[in-house]
């Protein structure tokens, strides 16, 4: 035999010793002796140690440090486990590895434990299950590429054959991914393998069962029944209870038929008032004047209709209308589209506002005329008490003669006239007073162009807003009371009622010599009213 053949035979004998299924049983006995639980972390730390020592990847003297790092064991427990591990699993290999022999000398390990099988709860059944599984896997040629995974695979199957794991636990461990402590095998193949092992493992002796003698329960003596008691029924005479009759209570909520008739007779008949404007028609007119509305889909048209209608009804102010048009949830308009849409909406809103003012004036005038006519009618009814002359003249009714006693008159003194200072009354010149008294001449004096004058008005409103919001509201009210604003409203109202253009109305007033706005000034006022909001 050559030297190479001898080395091959030695290496083969070492691997035969390491791959022997008995090593799994001995390793389990060591773990149970030292109180280590069978968890994936424990298996990952202890199972590969024998292979790593044989392959030169781990030194025997480093076993305690490995156990302390991976399993968080105390130095005493880790050293005790390392010595038992060396005595049982490494001592037979001392002749082939110098590191093992040195470790045995340092730790003073004498030899393998003789009472390992008796000290651990493992019986011959566990060894028989390991041998059976090893033989079955060799018979069917089932071998995994990784030796550590192969050993874990054999140990899991041995525990299944030994009835330490049930079918569901074993199948879950075999099919679970390796990253989480499993074997990563196919579910169908694992199921078939477990079923085959269950059928072939019938000849494996079952683990011995401990005979436990259960003491028979002693008969329980029942208490004697108590003698029946004699009960006497007592029936008391029933006396009638008289409840006092309550007097009738007056309920103010109830009404008699006569009261109902009287209330209906005095009920005030309130006539139904027609709406001031046709909002739907005005909304369609405003949408027709918006250029960007022609390219909208059905959903966009619905959004635009709702925004315009709420503005014309006064629910939204110009600021909220602008926010709704330029927001992403609305129409997302910007630039020229947004400016043109706001101008068209505010133009229609201004016309509706002018119509409302005109209609209110008409209703007020009609009410005054009605009151005057009623007063004249009452005077004519009282004319029966006044006598008429033959000429048709109305003579006053003769009054009974009364004797009056005149007192002597006192001499009248000459009254002196009151002295007054010849000074013009002072006028306040605040922003509110300037806005309330603004005329066309004042508007033109504020800027060389109409747009500049409009910006001056807007600046006055801004100054009031810096003081308080109440001052801003007062400024807007003063602006709408100004002669300039009233002229603007009357021009727009006249154009709408007569069906004329604003330019035609302005020209007719200017030709008659009346001081009137220009088309540029009307456009500037329309934009200004669109930016002013409450």
**Closest residue by Cα to residue 104 from 86, 116, 85, 92:** 86
Question: Cα 324 to chain center, whole Å?
Answer: 22
pLDDT at 38: 79
pLDDT band at 58 (very low <50, low <70, confident <90, very high): confident
Question: Who has greater pLDDT, 289 or 223?
Answer: 289
Say yes or no to pLDDT of 409 above 60.
Answer: no
Question: Who has greater pLDDT, 252 or 512?
Answer: 512
pLDDT at 150: 80
Residue with tokens 């669109």: 530
pLDDT at 119: 36
**Dihedral, CA of residue 459, residue 460, residue 464 and residue 467, to nearest 10:** 60
Say yes or no to pLDDT of 122 above 50.
Answer: no
pLDDT at 276: 62
pLDDT at 98: 82
pLDDT, mean of residues 103-132 = 57
pLDDT, mean of residues 121-135 = 54
Least confident among 385-394, 447-456, 512-521: 385-394
d(CA 471, CA 453): 21
Least confident among 55-59, 194-198, 502-506: 194-198
Question: Who has greater pLDDT, 505 or 6?
Answer: 505
pLDDT band at 369 (very low <50, low <70, confident <90, very high): confident
CB atoms within 10 A of CB 16: 9
Query: Could you tell me which residues come within 8 angstroms of residue 456 by beta carbon, excluding any fewer than 6 positions away?
Result: 446, 447
Mean pLDDT estimate for the chain: 75
DSSP letters, 385-441, are GSEE-TTS-EEPPPPPP---PPPPPPPPPPPPPPP----PPP---SHHHHHHT--HH
Contact 398/440 with Cβ under 8 angstroms? no
Say yes or no to pLDDT of 19 above 60.
Answer: yes
24, exposed or middle or buried, with CB in 10 Å at 0-12, 13-18, 19+? buried
d(CA 287, CA 279): 12
Say yes or no to pLDDT of 134 above 50.
Answer: yes
Query: Could you tell me which residues come within 8 angstroms of residue 478 by beta carbon, excluding any fewer than 6 positions away?
Result: 432, 433, 435, 436
CB atoms within 10 A of CB 20: 14
Question: Who has greater pLDDT, 362 or 526?
Answer: 526
pLDDT, mean of residues 472-489 = 90
pLDDT band at 521 (very low <50, low <70, confident <90, very high): very high
d(CA 489, CA 112): 115
DSSP letters, 69-80, are HHH---HHHHHH
pLDDT, mean of residues 470-492 = 90
Contact 388/394 with Cβ under 8 angstroms? yes
**Closest residue by Cα to residue 503 from 487, 490, 489, 492:** 492
CB atoms within 10 A of CB 77: 16
Say yes or no to pLDDT of 155 above 90.
Answer: no
pLDDT at 180: 72
DSSP letters, 322-358, are HHHHHSTTTT---HHHHHHHHHHHHHHHHHHHHHHHH
Please state the pTM of the whole predicted model. Answer: 0.27
pLDDT, mean of residues 372-381 = 67
Residue with tokens 């004699």: 230
Say yes or no to pLDDT of 517 above 60.
Answer: yes
Q: Which two tokens stand for residue 160?
A: 């299944």
pLDDT band at 393 (very low <50, low <70, confident <90, very high): low
Hey, CA dihedral for 508, 511, 514, 519, is it positive or negative?
positive
Say yes or no to pLDDT of 478 above 50.
Answer: yes
Share of the chain above pLDDT 70, in %: 67
The model's pLDDT over 327-361, given as tens digits with 9 standing for 90+, comes to 888 888 888 888 888 888 988 888 888 877 667 66
Say yes or no to pLDDT of 482 above 90.
Answer: yes
**Closest residue by Cα to residue 197 from 159, 235, 244:** 159
Contact 83/107 with Cβ under 8 angstroms? yes
Q: Which two tokens stand for residue 2?
A: 């050559």
Residue with tokens 């208490």: 223
**Closest residue by Cα to residue 204 from 134, 285, 261, 116:** 134
Share of the chain above pLDDT 90, in %: 7
pLDDT band at 232 (very low <50, low <70, confident <90, very high): very low
pLDDT at 124: 36
Contact 340/290 with Cβ under 8 angstroms? yes
Say yes or no to pLDDT of 239 above 80.
Answer: no
pLDDT band at 127 (very low <50, low <70, confident <90, very high): very low
What is the CA angle 299-304-308, rounded to 5?
155
pLDDT at 95: 82
Say yes or no to pLDDT of 266 above 70.
Answer: no
pLDDT band at 31 (very low <50, low <70, confident <90, very high): confident
Per-domain residue ranges of the chain: 9-119, 124-203, 279-368, 431-531
Question: Cα 388 to chain center, whole Å?
Answer: 88
395: β partners: 387
């Amino acid at each position: 035999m050559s030297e190479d053949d001898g080395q091959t035979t030695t290496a083969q004998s070492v691997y035969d010793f390491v791959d022997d299924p008995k090593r799994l049983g001995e390793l389990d006995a060591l773990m149970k002796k030292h109180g280590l639980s069978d968890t994936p972390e424990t298996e990952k730390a202890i199972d590969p140690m024998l292979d790593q020592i044989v392959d030169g990847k781990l030194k025997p003297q480093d076993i305690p440090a490995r156990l302390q790092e991976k399993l968080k064991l105390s130095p005493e427990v880790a050293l005790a486990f390392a010595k038992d591990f060396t005595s049982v699993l490494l001592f037979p290999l001392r002749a082939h590895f110098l590191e093992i022999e040195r470790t045995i000398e340092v730790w003073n390990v004498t030899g393998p434990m003789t009472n390992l099988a008796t000290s651990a709860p493992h019986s011959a059944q566990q060894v028989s299950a390991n041998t059976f599984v090893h033989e079955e896997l060799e018979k069917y040629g089932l071998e995994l590429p990784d030796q550590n995974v192969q050993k874990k695979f054999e140990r899991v199957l041995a525990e299944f054959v030994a009835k330490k794991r049930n079918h569901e636990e074993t199948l879950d461990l075999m099919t679970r991914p390796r990253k989480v402590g499993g074997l990563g095998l196919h579910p169908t193949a694992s199921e078939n393998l477990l079923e085959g092992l269950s059928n072939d493992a019938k000849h494996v002796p079952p683990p011995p069962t401990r005979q436990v003698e259960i003491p028979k329960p002693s008969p329980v003596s029942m208490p004697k029944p108590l003698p029946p008691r004699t009960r006497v029924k007592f029936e008391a005479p029933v006396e009638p209870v008289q409840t006092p009759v309550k007097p009738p209570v007056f309920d103010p909520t109830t009404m008699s038929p006569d009261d109902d008739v009287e209330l209906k007779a005095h009920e005030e008949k309130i006539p139904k008032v027609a709406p001031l404007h046709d909002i739907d028609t005005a909304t369609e007119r405003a949408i027709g004047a918006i250029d960007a509305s022609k390219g909208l889909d059905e959903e966009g048209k619905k959004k635009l209709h709702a925004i315009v209608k709420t503005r014309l009804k006064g629910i939204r102010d110009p600021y909220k209308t602008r926010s709704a048009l330029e927001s992403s949830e609305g129409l997302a308009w910007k630039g020229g589209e947004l400016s043109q849409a706001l101008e068209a909406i505010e133009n229609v809103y201004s016309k509706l506002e002018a119509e409302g003012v005109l209609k209110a004036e008409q209703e007020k005038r009609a009410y005054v005329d009605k009151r005057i006519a009623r007063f004249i009618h009452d005077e004519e009814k009282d004319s029966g008490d006044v006598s008429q002359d033959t000429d048709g003249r109305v003579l006053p009714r003769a009054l009974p003669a009364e004797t009056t006693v005149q007192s002597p008159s006192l001499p009248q003194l000459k009254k002196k006239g009151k002295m007054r200072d010849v000074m013009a009354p002072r006028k306040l010149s605040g922003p509110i007073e300037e806005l309330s008294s603004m005329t066309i001449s004042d508007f033109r004096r504020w800027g060389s162009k109409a747009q500049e004058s409009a910006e001056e008005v807007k600046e006055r409103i801004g100054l009031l807003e810096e003081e308080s919001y109440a001052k801003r509201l007062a400024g807007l009210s003063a602006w709408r009371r100004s002669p300039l604003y009233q002229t603007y409203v009357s021009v727009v109202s006249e154009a709408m009622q007569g069906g004329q253009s604003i330019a035609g109305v302005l020209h007719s007033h200017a030709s008659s010599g009346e001081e009137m706005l220009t088309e540029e000034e009307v456009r500037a006022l329309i934009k200004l009213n669109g930016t002013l909001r409450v």
